[in-house]
Amino acid sequence: MANTILVINGGSSSIKFQLFAIDPENQLDRRLKGQIDGIGTRPRLFAKNADGTCAVDKSWKSDEVCELHHALDKLVVFLREYVGRLPIAIGHRVVHGGAEFIEPTLVNTWVLDHLERFVPLAPLHQPNNLAPIRIVLERQPHLLQVACFDTAFHRHHSEIADRYAIPDRFYREGVRRYGFHGLSYEYIASRLRQVAPEIADRRVVVAHLGSGASMCALLKGASIESSMGFTALDGLPMGTRPGQIDAGVVLYLMNEEGMSAKDVEHFLYHDCGLKGLSGISNDVRELLASVDPRAKLALDYFAYRIALFAGMLATALGGIDGLVFTAGIGENAPAIRQAVVDRLSCFGLELSQPANAKNELRISSRGSHVGCYVVPTDEELMIARHTLQVLRKHEMPTERRA
């Protein structure tokens, strides 16, 4: 089999992975997509081949895979059986790269230690993104690892877009608006050139709507503004995060409710958003199926805030030529898309209900003044592309056999 690149997205109790083969023309061919989940509870390795057939479905007792390094060991054993050799490199999603890391970076101990500094800015993601890197660095130090950052795509915003209205020294220390989901937006920007060239170089607002949700303003394929800021708490309401919130609310929670900083952090990351508003669930599918008026309130609020931020981003662009929905909710929830676009009719947006119901590529009506699209994202392919580019710069290593 050809040389391969492994892409890893580490979570608190799971490892999502994809395997890409590098063909003789240096093109990437997806071979595997899977995950190990239930680490420490009900560990299971499941993966599908490129054609959708099952490549592996294996479970273990909880004490056999109770920590992340056990899961990585199981993954290595499987890959050696499946491929016959280890990948020549691993590409990792890393949520926060700060102001310093503005492009995919070959990881060493110094880089890894530096990235640990951003854990307080992304406590849900950063520790889990870095843990697999450290384990591989300890066990396979010669295996090339590349960190690909969700913040990097936004690092060329103007200073006006990135600043907060606080004293300059904080900006110099790195307290600024970073933006996230950059790997998704970068993929969408590249994909638009193929599927919607009529808007690829124009003014486009992209809504990445999943459990984590944000929006981005693209001009000629580059990010110029984002809904998220210093951390992944800002902007749109999400599954369990509140999105934009008055800082005075945080002061109230601490001063009047007696919450500690840790209490507030847990509250904002785990108890707010759609879950907090509805009191039912953070899952949009469950809320759409519910007849509880609280579910309707949560979804109406979600659509309202998306439309509100679309208007803000359109202002940053000086107008809007295209609106793109992506990620789990954006790609699969016609009712949410309809509710958002209904609120944007003042911009000349109008949906084709049949096209929207079928999740087609172009879902705007013929009379719509703004094109509206559903474009599936592929962050893993973007990571694999970046990893391959870094490999080319450092000379392609030879095959690593088992």
Write out the catalytic residue numbers. 150
Task: Note whether 280 and 295 are within 8 A (CB).
Answer: yes
Task: Note whether 381 and 30 are within 8 A (CB).
Answer: yes
* Cβ count within 10 A of residue 118: 25
- Which 3 state secondary structure label does DSSP give 382? helix
Task: Please state, in angstroms and rounded to a whole number, the distance separating the CA atoms of residues 261 and 6.
Answer: 38
In which residue are the tokens 């990792």 written?
92
Task: Please state, in angstroms and rounded to a whole number, the distance separating the CA atoms of residues 237 and 379.
Answer: 22
Q: What are residue 21's DSSP bridge partners?
A: 4, 29
* The token pair that represents 356 in the structure block: 């929207």
In which residue are the tokens 């390094």 written?
69
Number of residues assigned to the chain: 402
Q: What are residue 10's DSSP bridge partners?
A: 15
Task: Please state, in angstroms and rounded to a whole number, the distance separating the CA atoms of residues 94 and 304.
Answer: 30
Among left, alpha and beta (phi > 0; psi -120 to 50; other), residue 235 is left
Instruction: Say which amino acid occupies 308.
Output: L
Task: Please state, in angstroms and rounded to a whole number, the distance separating the CA atoms of residues 246 and 310.
Answer: 20
Compute the chain's Rg from CA coordinates. Answer: 21
Cβ neighbors of 291 (< 8 A, separation 6 or more) are none
Task: Note whether 7 and 380 are within 8 A (CB).
Answer: yes
